Amino acid sequence: MKLLRIAGSEASTLIPRLMAEGVIDRSAKIAKDGSHVLLPLEEGAWEFPLPGEVVEGHAHRRDERSPQRRILDGATVPEEYLASLPMFWEFVGDIAIVKMPAELDPWKEELGSLFAEVLGVSTVCIDRGGVQGELRQPQMEVIHGQRTESVRLENGIRYMLDVCKVMYASGNVDERERMGKLDCRGETVLDMFAGIGYFTLPIAKFSGAERVLACEKNPDSYHYLLKNIALNGLDGKVEARLGDNRSLPDRPFAHRIVMGYVQRTKEFLPKALNLLLPGGIIHYHENYHVREVEESLERDLAMACGGRSWELLSLREVKSFAPSVSHYVADLRFH
């Protein structure tokens, strides 16, 4: 496997940062090599210069039991509660996020320490209720550790965020990757709901877009949007604006618009059409019943478009949202 050889004197500084960026393989052990340290690297998890020499070598694996097995074996909750233990989690750098039922609250601190040890993270949070409100604010509770800001590396993009202040939509990973593979050469792209840069960053970095304008209303998300633009070397390529996208001047300037919002997206469609150049494309996100998606989409477009014609280029399911309801994205060209 590939190992990163760094000076031992730099280990205390570099290891937490590389762990947060998802570069280090948590399932393998860190080793010493004289005055140097050898860090096991995650395969394919880095596409940027690393602070040391990458060498081939071998790293011993940690406990061969699966993390789920180690959690079940290590938990001291009463036996009747074992079935309620989380068996899935999400990583944001060196932060783990779990969904844990309230019946386990009496043991949450103990379980937080166990999850931190098994998963090799510094902080463990419980997702208490997804995101809420127009600003899409997460409902998180920290049960181990203190630091809630980290960096998640995904498809060559680094996303910095505070998991207790802004959401991270793990279910949109494939769609974020798809946005980076679009051919936007020479285009001006508008992201109406930019968040921390979920779609803005891959479009700006990989699609060939000439200019990307990113609007975000949540001040916390906007703060990390600016940080992520700099972190990914996109200063000068992305223009970020704090505020409601409906305050943009009503003049067509965008060749392509991303509407990465759900449940109320159709309310913003008339504004998007005022900003879209003739022949432009909108990537329109919304939740629909799985058996009525095309009919519902056509109805919403007919009500919002004021007679403007459209062409459906593609319709994709992004993720399940609720029983019989899914999050879809429609690629639409408007004439």
How far apart CA 117 and CA 115 sit, in angstroms, is 5
Q: Flag whether 158 is in a domain.
A: no
Q: Flag whether 159 is in a domain.
A: no
The per-residue pLDDT of the chain, averaged, comes to 90
Q: Flag whether 287 is in a domain.
A: yes
Task: Give the Å distances, CA to CA, from 66 to 73, 202, 322.
Answer: 11, 33, 29
Cβ(311)–Cβ(275) below 8 Å: no
Cβ(168)–Cβ(125) below 8 Å: no
Q: Does 133 or 206 have the greater pLDDT score?
A: 206
Mean pLDDT of 130-147: 82
Cβ(44)–Cβ(153) below 8 Å: no
Q: Flag whether 116 is in a domain.
A: yes
Q: Does 289 or 14 have the greater pLDDT score?
A: 289
pLDDT at site 260: 93
Mean pLDDT of 118-124: 93
Q: Flag whether 330 is in a domain.
A: yes
pLDDT at site 2: 85
pLDDT digit string (tens) for 100-113?
999 999 999 999 99
How far apart CA 277 and CA 270 sit, in angstroms, is 13
- pLDDT at 61 exceeding the cut of 70: no
pLDDT at site 132: 67
* Same domain flag for 139 and 288: no
Cβ(37)–Cβ(57) below 8 Å: no
Mean pLDDT of 187-212: 97
Share of the chain above pLDDT 90, in %: 66
* Same domain flag for 261 and 329: yes
Q: State the pLDDT confidence band at 304, using cuts at 50, 70 and 90.
A: confident
The residue type of 309 is S
Q: Flag whether 8 is in a domain.
A: yes
* Same domain flag for 35 and 11: yes
- Residue 213 lies in domain: 169-334
Q: State the pLDDT confidence band at 153, using cuts at 50, 70 and 90.
A: confident
pLDDT at site 202: 97
Mean pLDDT of 1-21: 84
* Same domain flag for 225 and 271: yes
Mean pLDDT of 232-255: 95
* Same domain flag for 268 and 320: yes
pLDDT digit string (tens) for 158-196?
999 999 999 887 778 899 999 999 999 999 999 999 999
CATH number at residue 51: 3.30.70
* Same domain flag for 176 and 325: yes
* Same domain flag for 213 and 317: yes
* Same domain flag for 285 and 178: yes
Q: Flag whether 303 is in a domain.
A: yes
pLDDT at site 56: 83
State the total domains in the chain. 3
